[in-house]
């Protein structure tokens, strides 16, 4: 019975989370058109809404730990569910992502993405897009910010091992900026697939930054060790049983 009630609460939460995107986008649209700051404010408002409703609708508290970067850096994060995207973006002041160029043409979503500084790329031309972004920021034609990437390329369920993509190392080298690793345990409470959401405390933790200039291979080794080691600790804290590969609430 308890599981059934939580499943229904999770379903209601999931539906409202996506439905509310549209009214927030419409409310902030005039400001977003006038200034990129309006688009950023809209996205931050949405992140706050999701975290607030998660707390009282499904019993999922959220906690951001560590030193959140405010300068121009690369943020390389563990990705387990939509909630870690919400928490990381909501924490940094000017987050942006690399996106497929076709998403530019998605109604509302595409325009908001461009306004917050996301970088549209064609297949095989990411290097050109990154160089243009860095040039635009240096010339004052674009806002500086925190480029958020997911080093394993997709959502990875707790307990699953997956390689770190070489693209993260390439970006680190191309951008010549510090990198801030981010660990999380969100997947213990918010699975990669399915409706059910577990009560507990979801955490994203910004880890000590890796300075620019390391050899690419050394950077990748350091990044993976930091993110995987701390994510495992956070998942254990949330009640993940590595021996059984099952999830438990942390209270």
8-57, pLDDT tens digit by residue? 999 999 999 999 999 999 999 999 999 999 999 999 999 999 999 999 99
Alpha-carbon span 7 to 153, nearest angstrom: 29
Alpha-carbon span 174 to 168, nearest angstrom: 10
- The answer to whether the beta carbons of residues 183 and 56 sit under 8 Å apart is no
Predicted structure pTM score = 0.89
Provide the token pair at 233. 């600790």
Tokens 């099952």, residue located: 246
Distances (CA, A) of 150 to 97, 139, 165, 168: 10, 27, 9, 8
Alpha-carbon span 88 to 91, nearest angstrom: 5
Provide the token pair at 5. 């009630």
CA-closest candidate to residue 235, choices 221, 226, 246: 246
- The answer to whether the beta carbons of residues 202 and 60 sit under 8 Å apart is yes
Higher pLDDT, residue 120 or 190: 190
Alpha-carbon span 107 to 122, nearest angstrom: 19
pLDDT value at residue 142: 57
Residue pLDDT, tens place only, 167-201: 889 889 888 899 999 999 999 999 888 999 999 99
Residue pLDDT, tens place only, 74-115: 999 999 999 999 999 999 999 998 877 777 777 777 889 889
Q: Which residues pair with 148 in a beta bridge?
A: 75
pLDDT value at residue 134: 62
Angle at 176 between CA 171 and CA 181, to 5 degrees: 65
Q: For strand 95-96 and strand 146-150, is the pairing parallel, antiparallel, or unpaired?
A: parallel
Alpha-carbon span 172 to 207, nearest angstrom: 16
């Amino acid at each position: 019975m308890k599981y059934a009630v939580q499943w229904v609460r999770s379903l209601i939460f999931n539906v409202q989370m996506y439905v509310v995107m549209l009214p927030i986008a419409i409310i902030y649209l005039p400001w977003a058109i006038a200034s990129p700051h309006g688009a950023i404010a809209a996205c931050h408002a949405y992140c706050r809404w999701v975290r607030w409703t998660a707390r009282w609708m499904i019993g999922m508290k959220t906690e951001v730990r560590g030193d959140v970067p405010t300068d121009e850096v690369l943020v390389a994060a563990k990705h387990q569910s939509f909630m870690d995207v919400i928490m990381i973006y909501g924490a940094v002041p000017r987050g942006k992502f690399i996106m497929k160029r076709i998403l530019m043409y998605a109604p509302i979503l595409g325009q908001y993405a461009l306004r917050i500084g996301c970088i549209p790329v064609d297949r095989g031309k990411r290097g050109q897009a990154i160089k243009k972004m860095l040039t635009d920021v240096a010339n004052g034609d674009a806002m500086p910010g925190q480029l958020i990437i997911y080093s394993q390329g997709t959502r990875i369920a707790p307990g699953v091992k997956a390689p770190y993509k070489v693209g993260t190392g390439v970006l680190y080298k191309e951008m010549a900026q510090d990198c801030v690793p981010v660990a999380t345990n969100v997947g213990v409470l918010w699975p990669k697939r399915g409706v059910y959401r577990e009560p507990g405390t979801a955490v994203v933790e910004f880890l000590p930054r890796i300075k620019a200039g390391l050899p690419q291979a050394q950077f990748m080794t350091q990044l993976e060790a930091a993110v995987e080691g701390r994510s495992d600790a956070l998942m254990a804290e949330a009640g993940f049983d590595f021996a059984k590969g099952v999830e438990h609430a942390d209270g």
